[in-house]
Amino acid sequence: MEKVRVLLVDDEPSFTRMLKLNLEKRGFTVMVENNGAYAYTVAQDFMPDFIFLDVIMPDVDGGEVAAKLRRDPNFKDTPIVFLTAGVSREATKAKGNIIGGQQYLAKPVTVDEVVATIEKVMKKKTKATPASPRG
Amino acid sequence: MATPRVEPLAREVPIDEVRSRLEAILEISNDGILVVSLDGTILAWNRAAEQIYGYRADQIVGKPLTTLVPPDRLHELSEIYPGVARGGVIDQFETVRVRRDGVHIEVSLSIMPIRDRNGRVTSALIIMRDITAAQLALQEAAQSSEKLSDRERMLKRALVALRESHERAKSAQLQLVQAAKLESIGRLAAGVAHEVKNPLAVILFAVDYLAESIPNPDGNIQVALTDAREAVGRADSVIRGLLDFSTATELSPSEQDVNKLVRRSLQLVRHSLTKSHVFAVEEMEEGLPSAMLDRNKIEQVFVNLMINAIDAMPTGGTLIVRTRRDRLTVMGSDVGVRKTDRFQVGQSVIVVEIEDTGTGIDETARPRLFDPFFTTKPPGKGTGLGLAVCKTIVALHGGTIRIGNKEGGGGARATVVLHGIRSKEGQSDGEGAGPTRR
């Protein structure tokens, strides 16, 4: 089975470095971008199956990156999950991890939770579009 | 009026002198004096009467007394004078008479009979005083007194309004201070959350990575990794508390069954109950009115209070969770008759009580229980934000929360009072209360 390609966009290099190490250990192919302004270009090159976006970033924030990606038909259906440090985990549970129609994870989060989120979202996507091949 | 005592005239005083004395009295008197025959003809008329009525003596003597009486008062003559003719005396009879210029004046009349040598009543002496000015003064005094009373009433009302307005201003000021505190804590929380949660996430990922990368970790490594994870958890809970505290102002209320929320909260703390050997007792009154509540936030309150109660019984005990419907009958700091009062006298409310069988609360700690960052728990166990969050949430629902020791000791009791909206039979309780969305 082909490895799931995950793009991590977060302005905190140590965060993306640690998450990358963990996800690669769990069998994912991971690309990291620490500048929101370059996220779209990196996505075009990398063609991820799944994108984690930090919400608060200098220059270009997660919301703007997501909007730009969604305008591109190539990423119209690519799952995007936001990673935020601005919401409590209680609120995350209460709101079903969804704010404004977007799914998110509240930092700090365990690797198990990150992996479970990827698997759950990918499973849902496969069910919704069974015939749609990646890329 | 008693008959005036007149010194018997000395026999030797000549009759002319007597007449002269009487005439002097008549002329010098400030009261109008006239003599009327029994058939009502004016026989004598002094200077004061002239000043009062405007008639000179030569204009009025010989005329009937009715000249001075307004038509609507003529009946007085037949009521008064027959009695005088029989020897009766009238003392200070207040009535109305007419001046020569047609103006009505208020007078006070004293009438007494005049007798002849044989004691037979031959005529009547009338002494009259113009009391128009006095009556006017009295009326003005009465009006002034009425005005004064009105002003006093107005002042009293103004004072009450002023007191109420002062109370409202005080309460608004407290709310503003609280809102300002919340706002600054909120801003602080958002900033701290972002700056602290990222490093915490890095530490957690690093710990996860090490845990998976070390093939056969010895006991010490496992302890180190577990401690690091727990430390992250503790730091995160402080940040979480701050965020919850700052976002406690947003409510999403819907109609809720309080008993269901309490039972679900009990389920959420079941693990803590088992771990601490605490036995839970439910005393729920069925058929409670439903309430407009933000389910998650009120559950957060109940869970918080239950966890506090469990923490107060480290060697085990009993957690009693009680719900009931109560009718407020006594005025208090939150119960009154004004619209601004949190609860109205006579209102039916939902009461939730959470009791423990621990050692109770130190009286010195009680006033600070709801202060942010105040905790009686050991370091690392409590953030000191739980009860502050609870109070904010309950207050936003228009309710109250208080914590104290049980009567007779043997543990503490947290009491949450909430507005009910409807009875089970579908009848409105009429309070119309409940939270407003903010």
Residue type, A14: S
For chain A, say whether B190 makes contact (Cβ under 8 Å). Answer: yes
Distance CA A68, CA A66 (A): 5
User: Which is the CATH superfamily of the domain at B15-130?
Assistant: PAS domain (3.30.450.20)
Q: Which residues of A touch B236 (CB under 8 A)?
A: 89, 108
What are the phi and psi torsion angles at A69 (to 5°)? Answer: -65, -40
**CATH fold for the domain made of B146-247:** Helix Hairpins (1.10.287)
Fold matches, B15-130 and B251-419? no
Q: Residue B42: enclosing H or E segment and its boundaries?
A: strand B42-45
In this prediction the pTM is 0.46
- Nearest Cα neighbor of B304 from B188, B230, B394 is B394
Widest Cα–Cα separation across chain A: 38
Cross-chain residue pair B247–A91, CB shorter than 8 Å: yes
CA distance B302 to chain A (A): 14
**CB–CB contact A108 B200 (8 Å):** yes
Nearest chain B Cα to A24, which residue?
B209
With 90 as the cut, is the pLDDT of residue A7 above it? yes
Cα separation, B435 vs B425, whole angstroms:
22
State phi, psi for B364 to the nearest 5 degrees. -70, -25
The sign of the torsion formed by the CA atoms of B57, B63, B69, B73 equals: positive
Angstroms from A13 CA to nearest CA on chain B: 10
B198, B203, B300: residue with CB nearest A12: B198
Token pair recorded at residue B406 = 């049980």
Domains and CATH numbers, chain A: 5-128 (3.40.50.2300)
Q: How far is CA B208 from CA A112, B80, B259, in A?
A: 9, 120, 40
Q: For residue A32, count other CB atoms closer than 10 A to its CB.
A: 18
The structural domains of chain B, with segments of one domain joined by +, span 15-130, 146-247, 251-419
Task: Count the Cβ atoms, other than its own, within 10 Å of residue A121.
Answer: 16
pLDDT digit string (tens) for chain B, length 438 residues: 445 555 555 556 777 888 888 888 888 888 999 999 988 999 999 999 999 999 999 999 999 999 999 999 999 888 888 888 888 999 989 999 999 999 999 999 999 999 988 889 999 999 998 888 888 888 889 999 999 999 999 899 888 888 888 877 777 677 667 666 666 666 676 677 777 888 888 999 999 899 888 888 888 888 888 888 888 888 887 777 777 666 656 677 889 999 999 998 998 888 889 988 999 999 999 989 888 898 888 988 999 899 989 988 988 999 999 999 988 777 666 776 666 667 777 778 899 999 999 988 888 777 777 776 666 666 556 656 778 888 888 888 888 898 988 888 789 999 999 988 855 444 434 444 443 333
**Partners of residue B204 in chain A, C-beta under 8 Å:** 108-110
Whether B421 and B255 have beta carbons less than 8 Å apart is answered as yes
What is each CA distance from B176 to B172, B180, B189, B248, B251, in whole angstroms?
6, 6, 19, 16, 19
**What CATH topology corresponds to B251-419?**
Heat Shock Protein 90 (3.30.565)
Given a contact cutoff of 8 angstroms between Cβ atoms, the answer to whether A61 and A37 are in contact is: no
| Distance in Å, alpha carbon of A74 to nearest chain B alpha carbon | 30
Residue of B185, B205, B238 to mutate when probing chain A, most A C-beta within 10 A: B205
Q: Which of B65, B71, B72 is nearest to B111 (CA)?
A: B65
The confidence score (pLDDT) of residue A134 equals: 42
Both structure tokens of B398:
């228009």
